Amino acid sequence: MTTSNYASERETDEGRVFTVTGGDWDTIVAGTDPINDERIVVNMGPQHPSTHGVLRLILELEGETVREARSVVGYLHTGIEKNLEYRNWVQGSTFVTRMDYLAPIFNETAYALAVEKLLGITDDVTERATTIRVLMMELNRISSHLVWLATTGMELGAISIMLYGFREREYILDIFETITGLRMNHAYVRPGGVAQDVPDEAIVKIREFLKMMPKKLKEYEDLLSGQPIWTERTKNVAVLDVTGCVALGITGPVLRSAGLAWDLRKTMPYCGYETYEFDVPTHPDGDVWGRYQVRLAEIRESMKLVEQALDRLRPGPVMVADRKIAWPAQLAIGVDGMGNSLEHVAKIMGQSMESLIHHFKLVTEGFRVPPGQVYVAIEAPRGELGVHAVSDGGTRPYRVHYREPSFVNLQALPAMAEGGLIADVIAGGASLDPVMGGCDR
Amino acid sequence: MSDKPNDGGVPVPVVPAGATSGAPAELPPASPAGRGMFGNHGTGDVSGYGGLVRQRQPIEETPRPYGGYFDEVRDALEEAYPAFGDAIEKVVVDRGELTLHVRPERIAEVCQVMRDDLALRFELCSSVSGADYLGADERRLHVIYLLTSMTYRRRVRLEAAVSVEAPHLPSVTAVYPTADWQEREAYDMFGIVFDGHPNLTRILMPDDWEGHPQRKDYPLGGVPVEYKGAEIQPPDKRRSYQ
């Protein structure tokens, strides 16, 4: 590995000292003549307030017009897919939840559905567990779209919406904390069901949220929709039509904002979505304004789904009956988060040797998954979230690949930005709603 | 990176005869990469059955009829693509999913037909990714394409296998522009070279990285971290709990 381009080194009394310089920047600007050349190269990011994390954009400008745009990703690569191969199947949930950190429930659910399909137990997952998954996913979709609204508003100069969006999202995170014990990185949806049941107080909180939210949504619209600056900055900006979206693999709200009602919950249903009543909002224009309208409408549709899921919740088990797969302990929320329930600890430590052995084996070794490969895709807030999981018959995943919508969608940025103004790069990039944790995995 | 024998002064137990199981559960740690984390020399399997030898079942062609829309897809492709017999190595249906194993040099042609034929119409390439079947397949690097037909609401998987010595196959970016970054990722992680790709460079790892991290013979961790002369050992060399 050569270090000369990145960090020169010298020996000192205290050891070797590295001086980190600007990487490949010199080589990039060397090709342009700053005085006579009309074109300048601007480096945006990877640390920039409006790049949604660590995204680096290299823009070639002619005046204020973007002639070429290239995005550089990978700054947040953490090797989650590789790490999964060294942990057992259940432990995988705790890894995948950290990918797209704004939509953890979706990562977990897609993973759980893939493992269940490999195990062949898709139909054994209890109705209550599936309903809870739908409930959690739709709440998560609302919170994710709220963050999109908040950050995009801020990036286009509307600071107030940022505060409001995060305020309401916090309410959902409170609900998640009541249910899973954590605000983020829940590892709540597990292969076979969910980690533990929804407590009654959470139901009360969700009902309160449903009552409060329509008023808040109206506030957002009052604040933004009629606002001339907001409409100027979003209408006819970063347009991408259906052909462009499909060629570039763009799914989710961006595709729907171009007019194609492609939503996996409707077109290739999973988790019983075909039995719920909801609409797929679309918009004819394919611009940032359309994406804003689609996302706001999706929040409303998600609230309908949450309400229906709440009405469907009937008492029952939340984990498959198969003791070879179900987590041996009933988990409980304590003051320090989720853990084994005290009754279970008392049982395995004081009463039943067999339970202790069973618990130990299932927790340390895990269950075996028959060899094969599956692909499961769900509709995440950003588009199609696909999991390609391969088992070789062992207790650990042989290979898990995430088809991350953030990663695929970011490819559309040059198509949206080139030929437009530099200010519209921000609007276009934000309208894709990339989450770099998911993009780089 | 860690192909040297354990020289950290850690006692290594003698492996009893027949103890190497080849069990899939031990594959990642027992691969040439190293011995797993924290000096764990076995499979990490505490079931007592770690010594059992598991036979790897070769993936077999599924006999017709496949059921569902799978027969239609195969017939349509056979009709639209004259070189079907040469290009398709086998057809596998498992867990309700159709996989066409495609000869690697034909993959771009097959994708073109899959996209353009009116009876197939796989407009969207949902996913391109790699997988490394070290020890199970001569051509161990597989590329997996997941195609989606939005018109017919169908999915099909194409799989092409190449060897490490000649990891080349044509890029499908001309057919599916969305494959651009995904092929770059497969190149980055597995070293699969997509001929005809407009800009096949690393995407997630740094440009000057050596090796392809998601290959099975590439260790987890194992990158020495330097800070003021101090070297941090890779995880599997640090300490042994024995």
Residues A90, A138: Cα–Cα separation, whole Å: 23
Mean pLDDT, all residues of chain B: 77
Residue B145's nearest CA partner among A114, A255, A403, A267 is A403
Higher confidence at residue A324 or residue B36? A324
Tokens describing residue B75: 């017939």
Chain A contact present for B127, CB below 8 A: yes
pLDDT mean over A95-100:
91
| Torsion angle defined by CA atoms of residues B101, B104, B105 and B110, in that order, rounded to the nearest 10 degrees | 40
The answer on pLDDT for B1 being more than 50 is: no
Looking at residue B237, what is its pLDDT? 60
Neighbouring C-beta atoms of residue B120, cutoff 10 Å: 23
Q: Taking CB atoms and an 8 Å limit, are B214 and A81 in contact across chains?
A: yes
Looking at residue B36, what is its pLDDT? 46
User: Could you tell me if B144 and A388 are in contact, meaning their C-beta atoms sit under 8 angstroms apart?
Assistant: yes
At A179, the amino acid letter reads: I
Looking at residue A13, what is its pLDDT? 78
Looking at residue B242, what is its pLDDT? 34
Looking at residue A214, what is its pLDDT? 92
Peptide linkage before A46 cis (omega within 30 of 0): yes
Angstrom CA distances, A215 to A206, A209, A211, A222, stand at: 15, 11, 8, 11
Q: Is A336 exposed, middle or buried (0-12, 13-18, 19+ CB in 10 A)?
A: exposed
Chain B contact present for A360, CB below 8 A: yes
Residues A123-166: tens digit of each pLDDT: 889 999 999 999 999 999 999 999 999 999 888 888 888 899 99
Looking at residue A175, what is its pLDDT? 93
Distance in Å, alpha carbon of B226 to nearest chain A alpha carbon: 9
Looking at residue B42, what is its pLDDT? 54
Classified as helix, coil or strand, A33 is coil
Angle at A169 between CA A225 and CA A285, to 5 degrees: 35
Residue A2: pLDDT band (50, 70, 90) is: very low
Looking at residue A307, what is its pLDDT? 92
The answer on pLDDT for B29 being more than 90 is: no
User: Could you tell me if B183 and B130 are in contact, meaning their C-beta atoms sit under 8 angstroms apart?
Assistant: no
Nearest CB neighbour to A77, from listed B28, B136, B205: B205
Mean pLDDT, all residues of chain A: 86
At B58, the amino acid letter reads: P
Per CB-CB distance under 8 Å, the chain A contacts of B123 are 246
pLDDT mean over B118-133:
90
Tokens describing residue A54: 């660590």
User: Could you tell me if A147 and A169 are in contact, meaning their C-beta atoms sit under 8 angstroms apart?
Assistant: yes
R_g of chain A computed on alpha carbons: 24
Tokens describing residue B221: 């961790």
- Among A8-22, A76-90, A363-377, B73-87, the least confident range: A8-22
Question: For B210, which residue in chain A has the nearest alpha carbon?
Answer: A1
Looking at residue A273, what is its pLDDT? 92
Angle at B29 between CA B24 and CA B31, to 5 degrees: 75
Residues A206, A277: Cα–Cα separation, whole Å: 19
Chain A contact present for B31, CB below 8 A: no
Angstrom CA distances, B140 to A112, A425, B53, B135, B165, stand at: 27, 42, 21, 7, 10
Residues in chain A, total: 441
Residues A165-194: tens digit of each pLDDT: 999 999 999 999 888 888 888 889 999 889
Going from N- to C-terminal start, the domains of chain A cover 7-72, 80-325+367-440
Pairing of strands B97-102, B154-162: parallel
pLDDT mean over B11-38:
47
Mutation for testing the A interface, residue in B129, B154, B241 having most A CBs under 10 Å: B129
Looking at residue B142, what is its pLDDT? 92
- Helix, strand, coil share of chain B (percent; to 5): 20, 20, 55
Specify which of A270-279, B16-25, B223-232 reaches the highest per-range mean pLDDT: A270-279
The answer on pLDDT for B233 being more than 70 is: no
Please name the helix (run of DSSP H) or strand (run of DSSP E) that holds residue B127, with its range, or none: strand B124-132
**Contacting B residues, span 54-73, partner chain A, CB-CB under 8 Å:** 54, 56-57
C-beta pairs of B79-82 under 8 Å, 24+ apart in sequence: B79/B119, B80/B113, B80/B117, B80/B119, B80/B120, B81/B109, B81/B110, B81/B113, B81/B117
User: With b meaning 16 or more CB within 10 Å and e meaning fewer, what string describes B173-204?
Assistant: bebbbbbbbbbbbbbbbbbbbbeebeebebbb
Q: Taking CB atoms and an 8 Å limit, are A74 and B37 in contact across chains?
A: no
User: Could you tell me if B93 and B70 are in contact, meaning their C-beta atoms sit under 8 angstroms apart?
Assistant: yes
Residues A325, B31: Cα–Cα separation, whole Å: 27
Looking at residue A308, what is its pLDDT? 92
**Contacting A residues, span 261-290, partner chain B, CB-CB under 8 Å:** 262, 267-268
**Contacting A residues, span 86-115, partner chain B, CB-CB under 8 Å:** 86
Residue B82: pLDDT band (50, 70, 90) is: confident
Chain A contact present for B174, CB below 8 A: no
**Can you list the domains of chain B with their CATH numbers?**
70-195 (3.30.460.80)
| Torsion angle defined by CA atoms of residues A416, A419, A421 and A424, in that order, rounded to the nearest 10 degrees | 0
At A194, the amino acid letter reads: V
User: Could you tell me if A367 and A322 are in contact, meaning their C-beta atoms sit under 8 angstroms apart?
Assistant: no
Residues A42, A422: Cα–Cα separation, whole Å: 10
Residues A379, A134: Cα–Cα separation, whole Å: 11
A194 DSSP β-pair partners:
A189
Residue A61's nearest CA partner among A94, A32, A85, A92 is A32
Angstrom CA distances, A247 to A170, B178, B183, stand at: 37, 6, 15
Specify which of A9-23, A236-250, B10-24, B36-50 reaches the highest per-range mean pLDDT: A236-250
Per CB-CB distance under 8 Å, the chain B contacts of A268 are 153, 155
The pTM of the full predicted model, rounded to 2 decimals, is 0.83
Distance in Å, alpha carbon of B153 to nearest chain A alpha carbon: 7
Chain B contact present for A119, CB below 8 A: no
Q: Tell me: domain A80-325+367-440, CATH 1.10.1270.20, correct?
A: no
Residues A297-344: tens digit of each pLDDT: 999 999 999 999 999 988 888 888 888 888 777 777 777 767 777 888
- Match 């999991």 to its residue by tokens: A387
List, edge to edge, every strand of the sheet that includes A56-62.
Answer: A39-44, A56-62, A65-72
Looking at residue B4, what is its pLDDT? 45
Per CB-CB distance under 8 Å, the chain A contacts of B179 are 249
Residues in chain B, total: 242
Residues B160-181: tens digit of each pLDDT: 999 999 999 999 999 999 999 9
Chain A contact present for B204, CB below 8 A: yes
| Complex-level ipTM | 0.82
